[in-house]
Chains A and B, each alone.
Chain A
Amino acid sequence: MNLTIDKSVDARDSYCPGPLMELIRMMKSEPVGTVIEVLSSDQGSAKDIPEWIHKVGQEYLGAEEKDGFWSIVVKKVK
């Protein structure tokens, strides 16, 4: 992915509250237009995050697997 990341959440090794909860927190506090990257070592996040983004009507920009973790990028559009 070749994107400009505005905010990054490093939720690797986080079991509680977890990557999606961290993303929801940041989605609430950041302005519309912000591109947020979530780093997660939890395989489930790569599935859960796009599903939630779709359901809540935000924009999913993609995910990339790196060395044992995922970088998931979303944009706050509303």
Chain B
Amino acid sequence: MGKRIVIIGGGTGGTIVANLLARGLRTELRSGEVTVNMLSASEKHVYQPGFLYVAFGRMQDDEIIRDQRGLLDPLINLYVDPAVKIDTESQTVTAQSGRSFPYDYLVIATGSRIVPEEVPGLKEGAHWFYDLAGAKKLRKALKEFEGGRIVVSVGVPHKCPVAPLEVTFMLDDLFSQNGLKEKYELFYTYPIARVHVLEPVAQWAVKAFERRGIRYETFFNMKEVDPLKKQIHSEEGSTLDYDLLIAVPPHKGMPLIEESGLGADGWIPTDKHSLTMAGKENVFVVGDTTNIPISKAGSTAHFEADTVAESLICMIKEGCPGRRYDGKVFCFVETSLEEGTYVWFNYNTPPNPGEPSQMIHWFKLAYNRLYWLSARGIL
């Protein structure tokens, strides 16, 4: 029997791994020496960074959603049948339909989900742009907003660590353009001692806040929201009034991970270089699902997927793992509706954001369309 690879998850990480395997193992897949089965919870693939643009009316559903089958190389077997149990002892994944998928190598790329219910009152009182329904609801609220205080508040952990800053700067631009500059106040809060986790980004952002008149409070961890009084309370003891609350809800991994006993809160203990699950050399973990303390973001999933695919190809062809992941992350940062910058870093190199420019913003807009080439493993 040939080698069986099972990939759980049809998001950025899982899809890139699958398509790179199809390219690197084309001969083996055609001959049946290797099979790749992907289990996805949805027949659709969503470009999640597009949600921010949906909220601002700058992207539409059909620009951020594609059929998963159409994105995958034909040599990959796609089952739209979510995994419900992972047994790493018997090396079997069970799907919702009851079907079993035995594996020799497993790739877990199940991602993360927002859990606004973790903060009492947040679901009722806040808007967000971390899912399509939320982004559309926020788009409507922004259209109807006539003035007052907008509070941007950030939960822990969350994905895309630059998004809270991006939304704040984009909001400031939007309302300025709409002639509401005198009628609103933007108030940004962040969980740690500075306005962004990356110190160089925080230093730059504080100057931009001061220039734009954006107020902020650090050491602010959401504790509770009172939707009737329109107040948000922090774990640290402060209270803010709001007219419009835009939250980055806390995130968790998928219930499947906890239910299979693989990791608390859905995060799997993962070796930060080999990207294998602790104690399991044939189980790889990609993207948000890992417990590695680096960004949960599509970019991280992308670079991790490159590493995992090359390692798997090497293991199958040569019998030994190939590449090590160096912690590489690259993030565009929108600094207004017209300008952007970027940061990149890895385990050894700290981030060093450059001056924002229109060109980088345009490149980000271009990447929003080029993403589909990334998912296909081409870019």
| Prevailing SS type, chain A contact patch | helix
Cα–Cα distance between A71 and B351 once the two chains are bound (Å): 23
Q: How many residues of B contact A (CB 8 A)?
A: 29
Q: Do B221 and A24 touch across chains, with their CB atoms under 8 A apart?
A: yes
Chosen A-B contacts, 10 in total, with CB atoms closer than 8 Å, are A16-B161, A16-B198, A16-B294, A16-B345, A17-B161, A17-B295, A19-B293, A21-B293, A29-B264, A52-B219
User: Which of B192, B221, B294 is in CB contact (< 8 Å) with A14?
Assistant: B294
Task: Please indicate the chain A residues that have their CB under 8 angstroms from the CB of B156 in the complex.
Answer: 17, 21, 24-25, 28
Task: Say whether A6 faces chain B, with CB atoms less than 8 Å apart.
Answer: no
Taken together as a complex, chains A and B put the C-alpha atoms of A51 and B293 apart, in Å, by 21
Instruction: State the CA gap A28–B219 with chains docked (Å).
Output: 15
> Assuming the A-B contacts A25-B157, A29-B264, are A51 and B193 also in contact, with contact meaning beta carbons closer than 8 angstroms in the complex?
yes
In the complex, chain B residues whose CB is within 8 Å of the CB of A14: 293-294, 347
Q: Is the CB of A15 within 8 A of B198?
A: yes
Decide if B294 touches A15 in the complex (CB within 8 Å): yes
Question: In the bound complex, do residue B327 and residue A18 qualify as a contact, i.e. CB atoms below 8 Å apart?
Answer: no
User: For this complex, into which size category does the number of interface residues on chain A fall?
Assistant: 20 to 34
Bound-complex Cα distance A31 to B293 (A):
21
Asked if B133 is an interface residue, CB under 8 A from chain A, the answer is no
Interface of B is mostly: loop
Complex Cα distance, B157 from A29, in Å, reads: 11
Q: Is the CB of A18 within 8 A of B236?
A: no
* Docked CA distance A76–B293 (Å): 20
- When C-beta atoms are compared, the residue in chain A nearest to B234 turns out to be A56
* B219 and A55 within 8 A (CB): yes
Complex contact B293–A11 (CB within 8 A): yes
**Mask: chain A, 15-58; 1 = CB below 8 Å from B; 0 = not:** 11111111011001100000000000000100010011001100
Chain A residues at the B interface, C-beta cutoff of 8 Å: 9-11, 13-22, 24-25, 28-29, 44, 48, 51-52, 55-56
Extra pairs beyond A14-B293, A19-B293, A21-B191 (8, CB < 8 Å): A13-B348, A15-B345, A16-B295, A17-B293, A22-B293, A28-B118, A29-B264, A56-B235
User: A13-B347, A17-B293, A24-B221 given as contacts; is B191 within 8 A of A55 (CB)?
Assistant: no
Q: How far is the CB of A15 from chain B (nearest CB, A)?
A: 5
B199 touches A44 (CB 8 A): yes
> How long is the Cα–Cα vector from A55 to B264 in the complex, in angstroms?
27
Quick one: which of B118, B293, B351 has the most chain A CB within 10 A? B293
Q: Contacts of A25 on B, CB cut-off 8 Å?
A: 156-157
Q: With A and B bound together, what is the CA distance between A22 and B360 in angstroms? A: 30
Bound-state Cα–Cα, A60 to B295, Å: 26
Taken residue by residue from 262 to 282, chain B's Cβ proximity to chain A (1 for < 8 Å, 0 otherwise) reads as 001100000000000000000
CB distance from A74 to the nearest CB of B (A): 14
- How many angstroms between the C-alpha atoms of A10 and B161 in the bound complex? 19
Decide yes or no whether B350 CB sits under 8 A from chain A. Answer: yes
Assess whether A16 is in contact with B329, with CB atoms less than 8 Å apart.
yes
Q: What's the nearest-Cβ distance from chain B to residue A16, in Å?
A: 5
Assembly CA distance A18 to B345 (angstroms) = 13
**Interface pairs A-B: 6 shortest CB-CB:** A14-B293, A13-B347, A48-B193, A18-B197, A11-B293, A20-B192
Q: Per a CB cutoff under 8 Å, which of A21, A22, A28, A55 touches B236?
A: A55
Are the C-beta atoms of A21 and B264 separated by less than 8 Å?
A: no
With a CB–CB cut-off of 8 A, which chain A residues contact B329? 16
